[in-house]
Chains A and B, each alone.
Chain A
Amino acid sequence: MKYPIILLCLVLMQSALGMSTEEARHLQRRTGFHVDSKLTKKFESMTREQAVDFLMSRTRTTPLTPQPKWIEHFEYIYDAAIRMKKGQGQKADIKKIKQRTEQIIALFPNIPKPLVSKLRTAMDDEKKIRRVLNMISNRLLSKSLQAWWLEEMHKTESPLTERMTLFWHNHFATSFKKVKVLPWMYSQNLLLRRHAFGSFKDLLRDVSKDAAMLFYLDSNKNVKGAPNENFAREVMELFTLGEGNYSEKDIKEAARAFTGWNVDRLTGDYVFRHKQHDEGNKTILGQTGKFYGDDVLNIILQNKKTAEFITKKIWKEFVSPELNEAKINAIATTFFESGYEIKTLMREVFISDEFYKSSGQLIKSPVDLLVGTIKEFDIEPVNYLPYAMMAGRLGMELFDPPNVKGWPGGEKWINTSTLLIRKDLMTRLFRVGEKKEKANMMNPMQAMASMSTLDMKAVMKDRTRSQMLEEVLVLKPVSEIEDKKKDIAWARQIVLDPVYQLR
């Protein structure tokens, strides 16, 4: 008689103090890419606040994965090409450019042969260097940069850091296709991670003056007398206030205030060109003065609509597409009053009741699906390139969102084309006795399968099938899961179930 009572007391105490198993799993799915049984146990002994503080204490400001090796070579070639164009280069540079080109080629044993010969011959002609650099950037190096980030997402101990960096990448969207200088996309990524959980004020200021952004939104073309409104418009519409909270006049005036902002083509550093700056008075959101660009950002930040806009977007990304206006406004107020501390904002979201009632309301992005699958099933990719290509096929080219609005996301991730690819991919990864053919890099599906090892025995070692099912699927499966199957075939049914697409 005694023991059951003690046991009952223990269970009650536990539930009073700690998170439920479901809550512990939910927190992991939303702040990371998968559910880890050990972490679930840990969270079960913690309150929501403790668990969230634990996650926050682990966030990083730098990546774990080393910088891709070609970046240094790229920078050298780029630098030399720009100098030669300016007439500062010497003929001897051509030889060094060729050496660097060979070093890049050596890094990618899978470069298609025609591309290699194109690269080699083009480096003879200084006029063609930039164009060829763009060509390999588009076709090869961009994929490698995407692979670098996917590796970081996979290996980091703070997946929340990567989720947040990805959120900011989608928010302050820029694309290598316009920016073209890939090292700038890389350094922007470092910037976003550095500020991911810092102050939104700092983030906004720094990302606005970042090379990739200055190029992407034409700040370099915004000069006194001939303003280019691109940045002024998007900073208000998409980065801070949101549509309806400013006028066309505000944009025009702000564009004048931003004149003079430019970028050093050689170093990628922000420069202010006094001669190009419009010194006159500007009236922006009701305030008048001889404003500079930084003043505009400050005026925008003084407006609480900015905190509301960011909070709403965080809600859509981390909680649900259904907006709880009252809760969002309350969190936005806290965020605003904290002076835009991102940690405060995220903490409020992750401890809210609404957050824990939103299981399954989000659809996995291609990155969620890919990184989630390799983490959930301990798949060890030999090479992340085919994963990067696969994300592209599924509609998510990292460093290349479709436009400044970012990826539409949500339900748009799943259409007749991407659903089939997602299913094909799962079938391929969870195939019994998959023959390991040589990877064909032109066929990401085949390359992924042949470069990934799935050891179901190890995956199932410390967990029962029913535990696994609950960890992998956020809701009960909608298809019939037959139990009388070998582990891999059994697991395949789970990853093919529509519920596997949710988180």
Chain B
Amino acid sequence: MKRRDFLKTTLSLSALCMLPFPVMALAKEKKILILIELKGGNDGLNTLIPFSDPLYTKLRPSIGIKESEVLKLNSKLGFHPSLKFLHQSFKSNQLAILQGVGYANPNLSHFRSIDIWETATESEEYSDQGWLQQLSSKIGDGKELVKGIIVGDNAFGPFRGATSEVLVMDNPKRFLRKNAKLNLYENKQVLPSLKHILDVENSLSKTIEELRTKTEKVELPEMNDLPQDQVAGMIKALLSVLAAGHHVPVFKISIGGFDTHTEQLNQHARLLSVLDQTFQSLEKGLKQIGVWKESTLLTYSEFGRRPAENGSRGTDHGTANVHFAMGGTVRGGLYGKQPSLSNLDGEGNMKFTTDFKSIYSEVCQKIFKISDAEIVKKNKKLPGFLT
């Protein structure tokens, strides 16, 4: 049987079955988690700035942000001047600021540390499964297009270890064009290796067909304030999938270039305005599509950067970092505790105050309503930023 015929039959059959029984699944909300990875390790200390701490200026004589330029949040803390939109959002109680996020025995290698973040392991543990992959069977209501879409990257990141139900793509239209040559097989294989390959190909064929039927006609909402960065394409891709009416519980997009070892002032200012505009355009787009209420934007990064600037007016790899969350599910405010600049570790890095796994734990419970996962059991104390 040719693929199209097969699909037609299955589709019409299921359509027939559906008619007399308008089954209303127990209203499980279609929550959307949008992860924004800041690749390279964002300098949290020049993002959320403890401007009143004399140690800050002392540690950063040439790259410290002047108090007069800081967008103040309270008498001690303020934002980098690039974060205008996030500043507004905080003032209107829309933005959650998660302070001092990190983990015990921090690893300062980009590769290893992002592994730790994406697999939610302890520093000395190794896992081949991403933290969302570990929860995959519990995410979504069974009617989603796929569990997750990784936009603009080749690796599955927090879904690593998945073989199907996760897609990586640059943009949906190009994805559809490229992938026209798939088959749908009748899969009665007993050989596990072959069965697996056919399973992956079949699930991909079905997903692509579903994506195709809805996505081809989609008009994207007007977007004229997208950041001048590769992330703009990712934002458009994500919005166009949602605008087509697909449900996808998790998206991941990323902004690159945060590894600012040298001459970081201008570079970092640009990166933060890209981040600021990313939040702004996502909010706008998601509101226009009508899914803002169920959306959560959340940043992550392999580590923060060292408080003391280095000899090239940049910063080296650090530990504890600040992260942001925003969306219809988020309760604005400051969470956790800003790490002290007077009590640094042996490498001269800040000590974390909030374990990133407790953020994941809260995401599990509040967004995906999962209460029996390992990560939930191990992380009972939650930051409290989700409603």
- The answer to whether A478 touches B193, judged by C-beta atoms less than 8 angstroms apart, is no
Q: Please encode chain A, from 402 to 436, with 1 for each CB lying within 8 Å of some chain B CB and 0 for all others.
A: 11110010011011110110011001000000000
Residue of A nearest to B111 (CB): A177
- Return chain B residues, CB-CB under 8 Å to A416: 163-168, 200, 203-204, 207
B213 to chain A, nearest CB (A): 18
- The answer to whether A414 touches B128, judged by C-beta atoms less than 8 angstroms apart, is no
Question: Which of A194-202, A360-368, A451-459 faces chain B?
Answer: A360-368
A-B contact pairs, 11 of them (CB 8 A): A175-B111, A178-B112, A321-B192, A361-B193, A363-B196, A402-B128, A405-B126, A417-B154, A419-B204, A496-B181, A498-B198
Give which listed residue, B128, B154, B183, B193, contacts A502 with CB less than 8 A.
B193
- Return chain A residues, CB-CB under 8 Å to B156: 415, 417
Q: In the docked arrangement, what's the CA distance between A362 and B178, Å?
A: 28
Given contacts A360-B194, A475-B191, A498-B185, 8 further A-B contacts (CB under 8 A): A131-B261, A175-B111, A321-B193, A363-B197, A403-B126, A417-B168, A424-B178, A478-B198
Q: In the docked arrangement, what's the CA distance between A244 and B2, Å?
A: 50
Determine whether B201 belongs to the interface, using a CB cutoff of 8 Å to chain A: yes
- The answer to whether A178 touches B128, judged by C-beta atoms less than 8 angstroms apart, is no
Q: In the docked arrangement, what's the CA distance between A411 and B162, Å?
A: 10
- The answer to whether B201 touches A498, judged by C-beta atoms less than 8 angstroms apart, is yes
- The answer to whether B201 touches A412, judged by C-beta atoms less than 8 angstroms apart, is no
- The answer to whether B154 touches A411, judged by C-beta atoms less than 8 angstroms apart, is no
Give which listed residue, B128, B189, B192, contacts A412 with CB less than 8 A.
B128
- B162-190: which have CB < 8 Å to A? 162-168, 178-179, 181-183, 185, 189
- The answer to whether A419 touches B201, judged by C-beta atoms less than 8 angstroms apart, is yes
Number of A positions contacting B (CB below 8 A):
40
Q: In the docked arrangement, what's the CA distance between A175 and B111, Å?
A: 10
B278 to chain A, nearest CB (A): 24
A247 to chain B, nearest CB (A): 16
Give which listed residue, A127, A402, A411, contacts B311 with CB less than 8 A.
A127
- Return chain A residues, CB-CB under 8 Å to B207: 416
B191 to chain A, nearest CB (A): 6
Residue of B nearest to A496 (CB): B181
Q: Please encode chain A, from 335 to 364, with 1 for each CB lying within 8 Å of some chain B CB and 0 for all others.
A: 000000000000000000000000011110
- Return chain A residues, CB-CB under 8 Å to B311: 127
- Knowing A175-B111, A177-B109, A417-B154 are in contact, say whether A498-B194 is a contact too (CB < 8 A): yes
- Knowing A177-B109, A178-B109, A412-B163 are in contact, say whether A361-B178 is a contact too (CB < 8 A): no
Residue of A nearest to B197 (CB): A498
- The answer to whether A415 touches B164, judged by C-beta atoms less than 8 angstroms apart, is yes
Give which listed residue, B154, B162, B165, B191, contacts A361 with CB less than 8 A.
B191
Interface residues on B, range: 35 or more
- The answer to whether B178 touches A419, judged by C-beta atoms less than 8 angstroms apart, is no
A472 to chain B, nearest CB (A): 15
Q: In the docked arrangement, what's the CA distance between A230 and B191, Å?
A: 38
- Return chain A residues, CB-CB under 8 Å to B126: 403-405
- The answer to whether A402 touches B181, judged by C-beta atoms less than 8 angstroms apart, is no
Determine whether B333 belongs to the interface, using a CB cutoff of 8 Å to chain A: no
Residue of A nearest to B191 (CB): A360
- The answer to whether A363 touches B166, judged by C-beta atoms less than 8 angstroms apart, is no
Q: In the docked arrangement, what's the CA distance between A409 and B217, Å?
A: 39
- Return chain B residues, CB-CB under 8 Å to A175: 111
- Knowing A131-B261, A412-B163, A424-B178 are in contact, say whether A419-B200 is a contact too (CB < 8 A): yes
A202 to chain B, nearest CB (A): 27
Determine whether A316 belongs to the interface, using a CB cutoff of 8 Å to chain B: no
Q: In the docked arrangement, what's the CA distance between A259 and B26, Å?
A: 60
Residue of A nearest to B178 (CB): A424
Determine whether A501 belongs to the interface, using a CB cutoff of 8 Å to chain B: yes
- A460-503: which have CB < 8 Å to B? 475, 478-479, 496, 498-499, 501-502
- The answer to whether B162 touches A363, judged by C-beta atoms less than 8 angstroms apart, is no
- Return chain B residues, CB-CB under 8 Å to A131: 261
Determine whether B161 belongs to the interface, using a CB cutoff of 8 Å to chain A: yes
- Knowing A419-B197, A419-B204, A423-B181 are in contact, say whether A405-B166 is a contact too (CB < 8 A): no
- A373-422: which have CB < 8 Å to B? 393, 402-405, 408, 411-412, 414-417, 419-420
- Which 5 A-B pairs have CB atoms at the shortest separation, nearest pair first? A415-B163, A417-B168, A498-B197, A408-B128, A411-B196
- Return chain B residues, CB-CB under 8 Å to A127: 311-312
Determine whether B115 belongs to the interface, using a CB cutoff of 8 Å to chain A: yes
- Return chain B residues, CB-CB under 8 Å to A229: 124
- Return chain B residues, CB-CB under 8 Å to A417: 154, 156, 166-168
- Return chain B residues, CB-CB under 8 Å to A361: 191-193
Q: In the docked arrangement, what's the CA distance between A68 and B95, Å?
A: 53
- The answer to whether B161 touches A412, judged by C-beta atoms less than 8 angstroms apart, is yes
- Knowing A131-B261, A362-B193 are in contact, say whether A415-B128 is a contact too (CB < 8 A): no
B125 to chain A, nearest CB (A): 10
- B294-317: which have CB < 8 Å to A? 311-312
Q: In the docked arrangement, what's the CA distance between A496 and B181, Å?
A: 9
- The answer to whether A403 touches B109, judged by C-beta atoms less than 8 angstroms apart, is no
- Return chain B residues, CB-CB under 8 Å to A402: 115, 128
- Return chain A residues, CB-CB under 8 Å to B165: 416
- Return chain A residues, CB-CB under 8 Å to B185: 478-479, 498
Residue of A nearest to B159 (CB): A415
B342 to chain A, nearest CB (A): 25
